[in-house]
Amino acid sequence: MAQEARCVWQARAVLGEGPLWSPRQDAVYFVDIRGSRILRHGLSDGSQAGWDLDDAACWLVESADGDGFIAGLRSRRVVRLRLEPGQAAVVGEEIARIEPDKPGNRLNDGKADRDGRLWAGSMDDAEEAPAGSFYRIDGDGAVTTVDEGYTVANGPALAPDGRTIYHTDSAARTVYAFDIGADGSLSGKRVHIRFTEADGYPDGMTCDAEGGLWVCHWDGGRVSRFRPDGTLDRAIALPVSRVTSCVFAGPDLDRLFITTAAHGRPDEPLAGALFECDPGVRGLPPGRFGSPSP
């Protein structure tokens, strides 16, 4: 492993996940699903803030209209969310309700693409049954099931050309690739990467501008970059076991921030921290929900 990541904030997140780079706020936001918190790290000033939620957020994206954030909640609702420093989080309009008939499920991870659509997965909260699915949520709130049979849905990540999306079933130790049609339909599901037991479990991931896929290793203590053909390029070590997700950030998208989990790791002093590393490549601008990105 060529380098190690450095801790920028020991946030003690029980289950840190879903990092989001906000150019508008010059900050990285991330969620603590088990801690029912949303956390914010300012890039320029190093400021830190947090908000408690009754219904935990599982992921965040920015709204294309500038009206705050869109959040996927543990209760399988997709809502507008306002986060102002020093004020309580305000849950607003419900945009979509997913799986109202599956109380044992929760949302887990989601991203917006450059066409303003959301891609999000659900999972069995007990992490035992393949009861989860993969969804597309359009700008009008319409929900479409695009794949099924996930125990722990994770990812997703979008390739630079916008024509390939990656999605993971962590329990199966497998990252899948799909082709995206012009209408948002998915086809050509295939195995892109398969982890071994020694690798841990594939968790959150993101693509860089060269098409590399950065995959976090839960119980593997690292982030690995895979080439577009699925072969391993390099890895970045972390001083914790449960590495959960990552995002490119900064004006030049040349900084990689990495979330981790303290859950089940009381012996690791930095478990649950936010880390940063110099990836040597640039990332892709974040998508926003509601209209195509410029």
Annotated binding site for a divalent metal cation: 17, 154, 203
Q: Which of 47, 40, 49 is nearest to 20 (CA)?
A: 40
Lookup: tokens for 250: 């900064």
Spatial strand order in the sheet of 288-289 = 90-97, 77-82, 69-73, 57-63, 288-289
Count of Cβ atoms closer than 10 Å to residue 278 Cβ: 12
Q: Is 26 a catalytic residue?
A: no
Please enumerate, by residue number, every residue annotated as part of a binding site for substrate.
106, 108
Q: Of residues 52, 203, 252, 254, which has the active-site annotation?
A: 203
Encoded amino acid at 12, one letter: R
Q: Which of 173, 177, 166, 132 is nearest to 284 (CA)?
A: 166
Please enumerate, by residue number, every residue annotated as part of a binding site.
17, 106, 108, 154, 203
Q: Tell me the torsion sign for CA atoms 107, 165, 224, 29.
A: negative
Residues labelled as active-site residues: 203
